[in-house]
Each structure stands twice: as structure tokens, then as C-alpha cells.
Amino acid sequence: MELFIHELDWRVRIFDALSYPTLILRPDRTIIAVNKVFLSKYNVTEEEVVGKTCHDDVLPTHSSPKIPCTTDFCPHLTAKESAKTRSIQVQTKDKDGNPCWEERVFSPIIDENGNVKYIIESIRDISRVKNLEKKYSEMRELIDKVVQSSVSGIMAADRSGNIILMNEAAEKLFGYSILDANEVNIENFYPAGVAREIMRKLRDESLGGKGKLPITNVNILTHNKEEVPVEMTAAIIYEGEREAATAAIFNDLREKYAVAKKLEEAEEQLAHSEKLASIGRLAAGVAHEINNPLTSILLYGNMMYEALEADHPLSENLRFILEDAQRCTEIVKNLLAYSRQAAPSRAVFYLNNMVNESLALIRDQKFFMNVNVVKNFDDHQILVNADKNQLCQVLINLLINAFDAMEHKGTLTLTTYRDLENHRAFIEVSDTGCGIPEQNLSKIFDPFFTTKELGKGTGLGLSMAYGIMKENQGSISIKSTGPEGTTILLELPEEPVTDEFAFVSIG
């Protein structure tokens, strides 16, 4: 075997002292020297390696099919051609067969004419770095997954407020995509002044510590310029002492607020029902007590009236007394109806028919004179199972209230519809009347609350309606009211259509 070592300058021998396995190659890839570390690391002798080319099967790493040693990518070749240092990272196996990573650096040695004379190949074990890199990237992937799958919106911005991170929940909450991030600044995500206030609090050490914002309720601004209440926490991310970025976590409060509001309404309703129930019991007691004396007044009064001559001077006064006593009887009757505990006598009927019948029952045609009645009925016949007489009573009171509010001129719209999914039936009575003033809204279902002049209303209509609707598993509510008019909504459970009703024509 030819010896090539004499070709090397003595200075090249110092490479023997290098701690990395190192080879010296000619531009034609012939290995002319290897250092001692190389021999011991790969467990080969000088004779086995020197004189061969790096394409020969000289050591595990060289024979690895993963080494990009094709003509195009051969780092030896590119180092030779460019006369510059080139390197590649190679995944291979160590002498025990364990996977490892090597970095192979090819450094050309140039002669006085500028030609590449030799190439020094130095091999570094970078397995540790590579393993750390792998662990780091696995950890990053895990953190990414945790951030992305979080139900809370998570967002980070750099020092200038440019968005650098936005998870899916934040995209959904704010209505922006991370792809819009270049065009929006963190200030766009809050109503005017809020972002600054958050930064001020973040820097205030007395609130949650330096760079930390404890749970705070604020409004954010979505892409559609809608203000949404959220609960947020935030932190400044420091690089040394320097503020590098800010990160924040957001939780949408809309659902929580909606639940709280519903709860509050339910509590209010409960209090109202309790109040009505106690008034009802009281009213029932009083009505019973008054009923008997009233019956005597009417009986003896009528006897007196009949005994008097028609032109008797007291005859007219007595008639007034009897009329008012009769009115008292009506009130007592209503009171007893309002407080009555008896179950409604139910039957299945068509809602639209009942609305038509209630209209027909208002005999006093002066109500309709200047009122345009619009029927906006659901095309489908809606069936309900309720006490029809009671519901007529409710509706007649609503119609009279509407006529009164419009002072008998305007438009009265009667609408029926249903919610198929939840099996509910609805009647809406809308008028173009004066509306109910805000301060009366909480009182109109109370017994005896009336704004009508003495002798015109008793204030029992809506409180009776409230009780009747409840007894029939329904409800009554004010859908809207204002100077443009009032809409009262009645809701009842819808009865499923049975064979008996399936072919009945629309009446």
C-alpha cells in the first residue's frame, strides 16, 4: 500500500492531537490520513482506511445510505468546488448499533495558487444536541397543543402590540384569524383606552405583582365592533429586565351573565307569584265576606225599587245604588275567579278559532269603530289543550286593554305562531297605543293596579290573566312596550295533532 503521509507538511500532524475524529482527503476523495481519535472511535486501523476513498466501505458512518454523497450533494465535492467549508448532519449508528447524530465538516486547504489541495473532514458527535432539540420540539408541540385546545382564548403580542400568538378560542372570541394578525394591533381588540389601562395595571406591582394582572372583568372589541364582556388574566413576558411581550387569557362571560340574568328573573317571578298568591288568598277571604251582604243589598234594594212609583224622587238614587252594588258583585266574582284554586276544565281546540271567537264575543262594536284589526295567523292550525273559556276571558281583557290604550283608533294585530322544536304555541296582541310607562311595568300584573279612571277598570284583568295562564301551563308577558305601542305575548304548550284533528278543516 502506498504511503501518503510524507505528502503532508509536519504542521498537519497536529491534527492528531485534535479531540474530534478527523480525516485528511485529497480532492479525488482519497483518504491520506486519519487521526488517532478517529481510529479509536471507529475501531479501525490506519491500513484499513488510508488509501481508500470516502466512498469505500471504511466506517459505519461513511457507508450509511443516509449520507448525501451523490454527486449533487456530496459535501466533499461542494467544499472542493467552492473552496469553502461545507457541513452536513447525518443520522447514523454508533459502533454498538445505537442511533446517533454526527456533524461532518469539510474544510478545504488551499495551496499558493488558490487551488484546493486537501480537504479536512472533521466528525463531531452531535447526538446530545440533537436529542435536546428533539425534546425541545416535542415540548413545543405539546405546548402548542395545550394552547390550541384550551377553551379559554389565549393571545400574545410583542412590545409594539403586534399579535404573535392567537389560539382557536381567541380567534372565535375576537372574530379575527391569526392570518389577520399583521393588520391588527392589540389596541384594536379593546374599546378605546382599555389596552392602555391593562398595561398600566400590569406594570403596577401592587396589583398581582410585577408584570401580572389578576382576574379582571373587562369588555373586549370583536371584529364586528361588538363589545363582549370577558374575564381575563394577563402577564408581561420579560427577557432579563426588558419587556419582550404580553400574554393574556380570556373567558367569555356572556353565557355566565345570561344564566345570572335568567336566575334573577326567575327569582323575581317567584317573588311576584308569592305576592300574588297571598293577595289572592286575602282577596278570596274578603270576597266571601262581602258576597252575602251584597246579595242582601241587591235583593232588598230591588224589592224597594219595584215597590216605588216610577216617578218617585228616590227612584233614580236607588237605581244608582243598585247599579254600583251590581258592579261590586262583578268585582267579587272576578276576585273569586282570580283566587280560585280549581283546576281548569281542559279541552283540545284550535288556537286561531279561539282568537276569532274572543273577537266576536266583544259585543260593544264601538271598540272597533276606528281600529284596524289585522289577523296574522299561522298557516298551520295550532292545537292547544287548555280551558277555552278562561283563555277567551284572558284574550278579551287583552283586547279591551289594547282598545283602551289606543283610545279606539289605530291598528290591532293578532298573531299566532308556534315553536315546533319546543312544542309551544303563541298568541301576540299588539296595539299602536300609548305604551306602558317603565315605572308601571312591575305593577301591571298586581291585582287592583289600574290607571283607568274610577269605574272604568278594576285592575283585575291582567292579574287574572296571569293566574289563568299559569294554571294552563302557559305564561303571559310583555314582549315590548313603548310610545309606538305594546305587544303582549301569551304562551301555551302545543298539543300534538291526533287522528281526530288531522282532517278537520281550518275554521
**Contacts to ligand ATP by CB under 6 A:** 397, 401-402, 405, 431, 433-436, 444, 449-452, 457-463, 486
Out of ligand ATP, Mg ion, none, what residue 459 binds, judged by CB under 5 to 8 A for its kind, is: ligand ATP
- 383: nearest Cα among 495, 224, 240: 495
Cβ 175 vs Cβ 184: under 8 Å = no
Out of ligand ATP, Mg ion, none, what residue 61 binds, judged by CB under 5 to 8 A for its kind, is: none
Out of Mg ion, ligand ATP, none, what residue 451 binds, judged by CB under 5 to 8 A for its kind, is: ligand ATP
Nearer of residues 61 and 481 to ligand ATP, judged by Cβ? 481
Q: Does 467 bind Mg ion (CB under 5 A)?
A: no
Distance CA 235, CA 257 (A): 26
Q: Does 401 bind Mg ion (CB under 5 A)?
A: yes
- 498: nearest Cα among 389, 379, 381, 387: 381
Distance CA 165, CA 262 (A): 36
Nearer of residues 447 and 461 to Mg ion, judged by Cβ? 461
Distance CA 88, CA 76 (A): 10
Q: Which residues contact 326 (CB under 8 A, 6 or more apart)?
A: 298
Minimal distance, residue 386 CB to Mg ion, in Å = 20
Minimal distance, residue 434 CB to ligand ATP, in Å = 6
- By beta-carbon distance, which residue lies closest to ligand ATP? 461
Nearer of residues 120 and 276 to ligand ATP, judged by Cβ? 276
Cβ 69 vs Cβ 53: under 8 Å = no
Minimal distance, residue 332 CB to Mg ion, in Å = 17
The one among 397, 430, 463, 486 contacting Mg ion by CB under 5 A: 397
Q: Does 474 bind Mg ion (CB under 5 A)?
A: no
Distance CA 380, CA 384 (A): 13
Cβ 444 vs Cβ 405: under 8 Å = no
Q: Does 461 bind Mg ion (CB under 5 A)?
A: yes
Out of Mg ion, ligand ATP, none, what residue 487 binds, judged by CB under 5 to 8 A for its kind, is: none
Q: Is 202 exposed, middle or buried (0-12, 13-18, 19+ CB in 10 A)?
A: buried
Distance CA 35, CA 120 (A): 11
Nearer of residues 60 and 457 to ligand ATP, judged by Cβ? 457
Out of ligand ATP, Mg ion, none, what residue 402 binds, judged by CB under 5 to 8 A for its kind, is: ligand ATP
Phi, psi for 278 (deg, rounded to 5) = -70, -40
Q: Which residues contact 131 (CB under 8 A, 6 or more apart)?
A: none
Nearer of residues 457 and 493 to ligand ATP, judged by Cβ? 457
Minimal distance, residue 402 CB to ligand ATP, in Å = 5
Out of ligand ATP, Mg ion, none, what residue 24 binds, judged by CB under 5 to 8 A for its kind, is: none
- 464: nearest Cα among 449, 442, 452, 482: 449
Q: Which residues contact 94 (CB under 8 A, 6 or more apart)?
A: 60, 100
Q: Which residues contact 484 (CB under 8 A, 6 or more apart)?
A: 432, 435
- 35: nearest Cα among 12, 50, 15, 7: 15
Q: Which residues contact 215 (CB under 8 A, 6 or more apart)?
A: 231, 232, 233
Residue 268 cell numbers, joined: 323575581
Minimal distance, residue 333 CB to Mg ion, in Å = 15
Out of ligand ATP, Mg ion, none, what residue 450 binds, judged by CB under 5 to 8 A for its kind, is: ligand ATP
Nearer of residues 44 and 478 to ligand ATP, judged by Cβ? 478
Nearer of residues 459 and 493 to ligand ATP, judged by Cβ? 459
Q: Does 167 bind Mg ion (CB under 5 A)?
A: no
Nearer of residues 21 and 461 to ligand ATP, judged by Cβ? 461
Nearer of residues 85 and 450 to Mg ion, judged by Cβ? 450
Minimal distance, residue 378 CB to ligand ATP, in Å = 22
- 424: nearest Cα among 353, 495, 357: 495
Q: Containing H/E element for 70?
A: none
Out of ligand ATP, Mg ion, none, what residue 283 binds, judged by CB under 5 to 8 A for its kind, is: none
Residue 369 cell numbers, joined: 269603530
String marking each residue 402-441 x if it binds Mg ion according to CB under 5 A: ----------------------------------------
Nearer of residues 61 and 458 to ligand ATP, judged by Cβ? 458
Out of Mg ion, ligand ATP, none, what residue 444 binds, judged by CB under 5 to 8 A for its kind, is: ligand ATP
Distance CA 16, CA 23 (A): 10
String marking each residue 354-393 x if it binds Mg ion according to CB under 5 A: ----------------------------------------
Q: Does 21 bind Mg ion (CB under 5 A)?
A: no
Distance CA 9, CA 209 (A): 66
> Which residues of the shown chain bind Mg ion in the complex (CB under 5 A)?
397, 401, 461
